[in-house]
Amino acid sequence: MKQVNEAFVTPALIKWTRETCHFNEVDASKKLGVTLKTLQEWENGTKRPTIPQLYEIAKLYHRPIAVFYLSEVPKDFQPPREFRKLQESEDINNYPNFHFEIRRILDIRQNFLDLKDDLNEVIPTFSPSLSSISDIKEAVNQIREILQITTQDILDCTTTGNLFKMLKRKVELLNIFVLISWSYYRINLSAFRGMAILFDTYPIISINSKDSVEAKIFTLIHELVHLLKGNSDIFSGHDNEDIFCNLVSAEFLMPEEELRAFCKSNHLSNQTMNLEKINGITSYFHVSREAMIYRLNNLSIIDNHTKENIYAKLKESNQKKGKAFGRSSYEDKIKNSYSPIFLNTIYDAYSNNIIDAYDISNILNIKYDFVKKIGSSL
């Protein structure tokens, strides 16, 4: 009879790892290919998984094998705070990949801080500078000054992709991590378009990789405003703070004065506006068509009836989304997912023999063969 190699793990750790990534028992058992009863027996200790089954559990819950051999559940574990609720029809438990992403970006930041400490480098403090500002245009002027960017700089960008890269670099100069969600997780846009997590040092902005470049640009500025106001933004909300961030982002990317001037010089009005004209305006301002439709309506350039008609035709256009960088190479995808300040610090630590290539492979979750290729392209 073939011997079954049982994994002598701590049962409470199997349950804890499932719950911390927000899988219910039914979904977890289905994904693991076992019965609900078997999963419950693993978690209460009346039965043990085999070693191959333990590998499947670790893979599903995105945890290292060693975690399951701890003597007890980690007591210092704290889920991220200051969450905003999704819309009433949504349920957080439907999005375990969202929690994997939060864990990933928090791990990135902690690895970064540890390496900074090993390199004996100073860690600058992040100071929110918009906390006392409530006027939209005043906030926009302050952001332009902080980023050292003008409206003309934005309009002069030759492509939307170049604008996103430029704005991302500017934000990262403020010692903010700007991360693109790991494409492996494939997080639905209804669960997450972007989030901001405030820390005294190196706060985080994360943007969904599935979104369009135009939407990524708006999300980047929106989440930046949250951080500069001194707030975290995990779940999209509709409170006054979130509305303020939307209005500031709209004025930053689609300034009222320039937008009205553009419409006037091109003879665009409520009577002449259609989806084709919207395409021309969005190409000029590098924003999404949806954002432009709502902006024109908020400025009363088009009325509600025109807005609804254009928006209905927009939904019928079947616009392709989520291809921000086209067919990127593997190296480019890695560099786009991580902040340059993080990558540079990792390779500085590598150059100083603090970590080795295998450490980089584990930290970045990349193939070992690509460690030197990515380093040489920085």
pLDDT > 70 in the chain, percent = 87
**Dihedral pair phi/psi, residue 27, rounded to 5°:** -65, -40
- CB atoms near residue 155 (< 10 Å): 14
Confidence at residue 62, expressed as pLDDT on a 0 to 100 scale: 79
pLDDT (tens digit per residue) in 345-363 = 999 999 999 999 988 888 8
Q: What letter represents residue 140's amino acid?
A: V
pTM of the predicted model as reported, rounded to 2 decimal places? 0.78
- Distance between CA atoms of 230 and 130, rounded to whole angstroms? 8
Q: Where are the domains of the chain?
A: 11-69, 98-316, 327-376
354: Cβ–Cβ under 8 A, 6 or more apart, which residues? Answer: 115, 118, 119
Confidence at residue 185, expressed as pLDDT on a 0 to 100 scale: 58
- Distance between CA atoms of 305 and 274, rounded to whole angstroms? 12
Question: Which residues of the chain are modeled with pLDDT < 50?
Answer: 1-2, 77-90, 92, 320-326
11-69 is classed CATH 3.40.50.1820: no
pLDDT (tens digit per residue) in 178-199 = 998 875 557 777 767 888 988 9
Residue 337: closest CA among 156, 83, 104, 157: 104
